[in-house]
Amino acid sequence: MKQIGILSFTERGKRLSHRIAEGLGDDCNVEILEDKGKAKEYLRENFQQKDVFLFICAAGIAVRMIAPLIRSKDVDPAVIVMDEFGRFVVPILSGHLGGANAAAAGIAELIEAQLVLTTATDINDKFAVDVWSKYVGCRIVDVRGIKDVSSAVLRGEKIGFESGFPFEGKLPEELTLDPAEMGICVSLSDKLKPFKKTFNVVPQIVTLGVGCRKNVSADQFEKFILNVLEENNVSIYAVEKIASIDLKKYEKCILSFSDKYKIPFVTYTAEELKGVSGEFLPSDFVKSVTGVDNVCERSAVLGSGNGQKILSKASGSGVTAALAMKDWKCKF
């Protein structure tokens, strides 16, 4: 559910904020702030918790309020400004990765306002690598490279494209499969550099299945998992979720890793894991403790939607791990 904060400080603006909140629908959790004196404190407490902030006020007021809180385009929320008459809707922060442009378009349509976009790729109707990456479920390894790719596109230069995955749809005219100085590389690894200037994009399609002894330290767990990923040329950015048996739901080392790397942690019952089809390395000891002969491999496969296993059980430091990835294609 999308978390939205609306800040409005005039009577007309307050009426508009409630109209928008009512029209956004059940898939949005909307919070309205109408006390300007509490706005800075509200933003400090919620800036990284909300997906979208809509300011119904002068753009300058919004800019001054959010300026101390801005960090990076890959973590900042979408920020949109609207006048109190609801005539113009203007995304001013995180237009692409944060989804401000898309959210602003939805709000403009809702109240029949004029959408005002200022992002160069949008107004020139050009391919935007950050918009595409978000659309296909990929993580950008270094967001600083976005401006380099976009600048090259706007100059009319061809951007190379190399993928370890099949793609469907027509390749955008700004991209080429021919050799190029700058290019986009789509791979589970973030280390491949097929171009002189490589923009690495990693699909988030891998489930990390794990098991561990009780009370393994967070440092031990993290070191082992990162080593497993590196040895198998899988970026941490590729991990969509961590999965295990429900007996490990409160295991501190797993929760710590999940929190540090912002990766969701899901668990399954022994019966659910038993129902996973495939060949797995069995363990009588694991079965005697958990009720199922293998936790990490079965969790990885189940978490990936019965996808392809790319690493069978690896073990060390009291930890077991397996990797599986769901079926995925580059779509245009």
Given the DSSP bridges, would you call strands 206-212 and 319-325 parallel, antiparallel or unpaired? Answer: antiparallel
CA distances from 163 to 46, 144, 252, 324 (A): 38, 21, 37, 19
CB atoms within 10 A of CB 289: 15
CB atoms within 10 A of CB 230: 13
What's the pLDDT band for 325 if we cut at 50, 70, 90? very high
Cα 128 from Cα 110, distance rounded (Å): 25
Alpha helices in 170-291 (DSSP H): 218-231, 252-261, 270-274, 284-290
- 95, 134 in Cβ contact below 8 A? no
What's the pLDDT band for 131 if we cut at 50, 70, 90? very high
Cα 259 from Cα 227, distance rounded (Å): 18
Instruction: List, as one string, the DSSP characters of 61-90.
Output: HHHHHHGGG---TTTPPEEEEE-TTS-EEE
What's the pLDDT band for 290 if we cut at 50, 70, 90? confident
Q: Identity (one letter) of the amino acid at 206?
A: V
User: Rounded to an integer, what is the distance from CA 272 to the centroid of its chain?
Assistant: 27
- pLDDT, one tens digit per residue, over 40-71 is 999 999 999 999 999 999 999 999 999 999 99
Signed CA dihedral, 20, 22, 23, 25: sign only: positive
CA nearest to 322, candidates 330, 332, 302, 305: 302
Buried b (16+ CB within 10 A) or exposed e, 120-146: ebeeeeebbbbbbbbebebbbbeeebb
CA nearest to 326, candidates 312, 299, 305: 305
Q: Which domains does the chain have, with CATH numbers?
A: 2-118 (3.40.50.11220), 138-203 (3.40.1390.40), 206-325 (3.30.420.180)
Cα 6 from Cα 102, distance rounded (Å): 16
CA nearest to 254, candidates 285, 295, 294: 295
- pLDDT, one tens digit per residue, over 91-106 is 999 999 999 999 999 9
Q: What is the reported pLDDT for 302?
A: 97
What predicted TM-score, i.e. pTM, was given to this entire model? 0.83
- pLDDT, one tens digit per residue, over 144-202 is 999 999 999 999 999 999 999 998 999 999 999 999 999 999 999 999 999 999 999 99
